[in-house]
């Protein structure tokens, strides 16, 4: 693409300032990502009946959620590069817990 994210364009390489960068060595950026999401949500239901006026259902439970994200941004030195210099390395983790009645 002809985007301002081309790595060599950031250095103001004169060969990388127009559509000509598609046929030159202006480089590319790769964003390699891996996501893992896991969760559980058990529910417990209790039906109660204490006569005609007092009957119903009670539902309770809890939720546990985990997330893991690996994100790697690589700057390649050619348009067809498949590896490069790491520009950003992120590892993100989240956990969430909740209960309901």
Domain of residue 81 covers: 28-100
Indicate whether 17 belongs to any domain.
no
What is the structure's pLDDT at 45? 97
Determine, yes or no, domain membership for 3.
no
CA angle 30-23-74, nearest 5°? Answer: 15
Please tell me the predicted confidence (pLDDT) of residue 15. Answer: 66
Evaluate whether residue 40 is within a structural domain: yes
Query: How confident is the prediction along the chain (101 residues), in pLDDT tens digits per residue?
Result: 445 555 555 556 666 666 665 655 677 778 889 999 999 999 999 999 988 888 999 999 999 999 999 999 888 877 788 888 898 899 999 999 999 99
pLDDT value for 61:
98
Cβ–Cβ < 8 Å for 68, 93: yes
Please tell me the total count of domains within the chain: 1
pLDDT at 4: 56
DSSP state of 80: T
pLDDT for the residue numbered 2: 45
Residue 62 within any structural domain of the chain? yes
How many angstroms separate the first and last alpha carbons of the chain? 52
């Amino acid at each position: 693409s002809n985007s301002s994210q081309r790595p060599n364009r950031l250095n103001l390489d004169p060969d990388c300032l127009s559509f000509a960068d598609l046929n030159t060595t202006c480089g590319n950026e790769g964003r390699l990502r891996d996501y893992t999401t896991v969760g559980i949500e058990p529910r417990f239901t209790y039906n109660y009946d204490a006569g005609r006026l007092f009957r119903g259902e009670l539902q309770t439970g809890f939720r546990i959620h985990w997330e893991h994200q690996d994100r790697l941004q690589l700057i390649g030195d050619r348009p067809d590069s498949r590896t490069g210099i790491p520009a950003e390395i992120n590892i993100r983790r989240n956990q969430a817990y909740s209960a309901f009645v």
